[in-house]
Structure 1
């Protein structure tokens, strides 16, 4: 897969996703959150620029958070805020910010109201977070996520994480949505279209053009995806890509 990147006149709102957990890295649990967050953010005009997976290690979490929060507008994390001894996301992020971990008073209240006599020391761990953190609502299982600075911390369970993203969404600064259109290559191989596609990209600097080889069931072909924030720029680049595909298809007799 090849993708050329372009520039826009307005600085985009950017984000990174940090997935935390030994179970992801061992393969025991398959991540289902990165793709959801990527689509969610794209739909509201935020560019997900990077995704990382780190182990349940306080220093590794802190190092990743500090690197990402300095580089992007927002950081979103999933995993490691549950009731067990190895749920140490709060400790890692507190270390990144240089603040202590506390039991957030409102989070404790929420858990006690929801769990009643089932509350215990382990479940109260879900109220642990860095001092100064603000709560993120959890409509599924009540145990809240939280934000500190530009870092948003969510559960690893997909249904819970998705509910937290719904709560976060209205609070985020967003940019212009990325528009996207696809031109099918009609049997043209990526190696045949790569050179002239690069020439089109060089002219249309505010457009991103990616080529994606695949099989349409009977032959190998290429899909060309054109993305831009400006509809006029997108249409102009598409016309040139379509003309290129028509020319190459005619040469091959397609």
Structure 2
């Protein structure tokens, strides 16, 4: 199953805020032996959000959506999802009770809007202020605030996707090639993928030195080790110089060893 992320808000597209959710989600999935397949950043545009939700609902992916579920006029996620799903926007009784319990009389007339959800939604508990997120048709909606959103995503993963979790971690190993052009090693890359179809290969030429290429091999550890050993032998036979490059915990690369 593919897993995607929707990150919603004009502030991300204007540069007022930098997204942190993608890095978090990659790590949360990796700890469970899962991977992120795609990410979209979408502004607070009603028609664009409806179109986006229609596309993602039809794809059948598991989707984590961050932001846009508050009570202000620019929080469009709930009504746009309802339109895209073809359902009514209704007050969820459990969400109403939680918001009333949290805010009392001040829940009305505005905060209670956060309990108005697309028909058929199930709640995601919020450990910070008890205002819930919600799930509908494999889509899981949480606030934009990381301190709320991230434990809510962890809860969804452990509650709804535990059957997909695996103790077999996916790893990535990098080689930096020197003194060769990317076009010269395309047949070698094709041969690697034919021999090891269960790994992913990436090729990133340097923007400053066209004779330097970073090759990444990703997959289950045992298969990555086998593929990398094969690749190292083939490069040595072709007298292509190479060095290992470490991958840090946040997914960035370190200088070659």
Where structure 1 has 5 or more consecutive residues not aligned to the other structure, the ranges are: 1-12
RMSD value over aligned CA atoms?
2.8
Match of 2:170 in 1: 179
CA distance in 2, matches of 1:125, 1:225: 47
Match of 2:233 in 1: 243
On the 8 A contact 2:28/2:154 being kept in 1, the answer is no
Match of 1:38 in 2: 26
Shift of residue 245 of structure 1? 4.2
Shift of residue 198 of structure 1? 3.1
Shift of residue 101 of structure 1? 0.9
Q: Check 1:72–1:50 CA distance in 2 against 1; reply closer, same or farther (3 A cut).
A: farther
- Find out whether 1:48 has 2:36 as its counterpart: yes
CA distance in 1, matches of 2:181, 2:77: 43
| Mapping 1:139-150, distance limit 5 Å | 139-150=127-138
Shift of residue 152 of structure 1? 0.7
| Matched residue SS, 1:147 | strand
CA distance in 2, matches of 1:195, 1:178: 29
Shift of residue 186 of structure 1? 5.9
| Matched residue SS, 1:80 | coil
CA distance in 2, matches of 1:179, 1:195: 25
Q: Whose RCO is larger (CA < 8 A, sep 6+)?
A: 1
CA distance in 2, matches of 1:42, 1:70: 26
Q: What's the TM-score once normalised by structure 2's chain length?
A: 0.80
Match of 1:10 in 2: none
- Find out whether 1:133 has 2:121 as its counterpart: yes
Where structure 2 has 5 or more consecutive residues not aligned to the other structure, the ranges are: 244-257
CA distance in 2, matches of 1:55, 1:183: 35
CA distance in 2, matches of 1:251, 1:63: 48
Decide which moves more: 195-204 or 152-161.
195-204
CA distance in 1, matches of 2:64, 2:242: 49
On the 8 A contact 1:190/1:221 being kept in 2, the answer is yes
Shift of residue 190 of structure 1? 6.0
Q: What's the TM-score once normalised by structure 1's chain length?
A: 0.81
- Find out whether 1:205 has 2:197 as its counterpart: yes
